[in-house]
Amino acid sequence: MMFEEDMMKTLDMESLQALVPLHGVLLSKDVVDNWETIESFQARSDDVVIATYPKAGTTWASEIIDMIYADGDHEKCRRDYIFNRVPYLEFRVPGMPTGIDQLNGTPSPRLVKTHLPIHLMPNSFWEKKAKVIYVARNAKDVAVSYFFFHQNVSALPDPGPWDKFLDNYMKGNVGYGSWYDHVKGWWEKRHDYKILYLFYEDMKEEPKREIRKMLDFLGKNMSDDALNKIVYHTSFDFMKTNDKVNYKSLPKEVIDQSTIPFMRKGIAGDWKNHFTVTQNEEFDGDYKRKMSGTDLHFRTVI
């Protein structure tokens, strides 16, 4: 899949940016218009799904898992851009192949990216007993990263000022809905299906340990040398310079990185540079209410 600048200029950006509710979750209008096709998607038993709420380490996890399937050979992972190696299930932009078109043309084993909450996942994934690796990131850092991402990507609605975006985020009035519902939904079903639930902060703290969890879950064996290569080649500093994963191959009409890079910081705790004291207090109170009754816990710094 390639993005053509001329094609992007002809798109109805107002329609592309529109969010509409589906089963209680705000999604892109183009995704909802294609929902019947997404819902009836045919999974395969050896599919591996990388599921996240947006800006929770999706590209990072995708590159790690692709390197696992390449036995740690980084050159094999340079065969194509990350958005072609790991197609985005619900992707749909008029005039371009959909994520499902890409996946249907991908040989097994397929790596599948999605941001869907668990209750919207096509049933075939569970029927085929496909494996899912879910990565969760703390709510505050996701809010900051998602805000900047909205400024980058033309297909996303204008986020407005930070305080307005944060309010919408806390209410779940953003693409893919409530962060709270998303992370809790996947957490509560982690024992019902083949789901490995990982935390972004743990991956930052000790990537080798977390990659070993992925290897065990996927039934893969790997030498320490190959594992070390994965850690190195999927580090933030390396990926930021890797044209196959940093999205700099896309025209600015799709994602404008002239002022804010797609790979901005990649750390835990950047929220401290953006939340005011009042915002933090209000967020903490809201967080406590919405996360009460769950044994799911996050670290906001490491």
What positions carry a catalytic annotation?
A: 115
Spell 107-125 as b/e; 16+ CB within 10 A means b: eeebbbbbbbbbebbbeeb
Q: Partners of 179 in the beta sheet?
A: none
Short-list 154, 136, 124, 5, CA closest to 58: 136
Q: Which residues contact 220 (CB under 8 A, 6 or more apart)?
A: 68
For residues 165 and 158, is the Cβ–Cβ distance under 8 A? no
Short-list 149, 116, 94, CA closest to 266: 149
Q: What distance in Å separates the CA atoms of residue 44 and residue 62, rounded to the nearest whole number?
A: 18
Q: What distance in Å separates the CA atoms of residue 157 and residue 283, rounded to the nearest whole number?
A: 23
Q: What distance in Å separates the CA atoms of residue 13 and residue 153, rounded to the nearest whole number?
A: 11
How far is CA 238 from each of CA 43, 91, 144, 207, 247, rounded to the nearest angstrom? Answer: 32, 27, 22, 14, 14
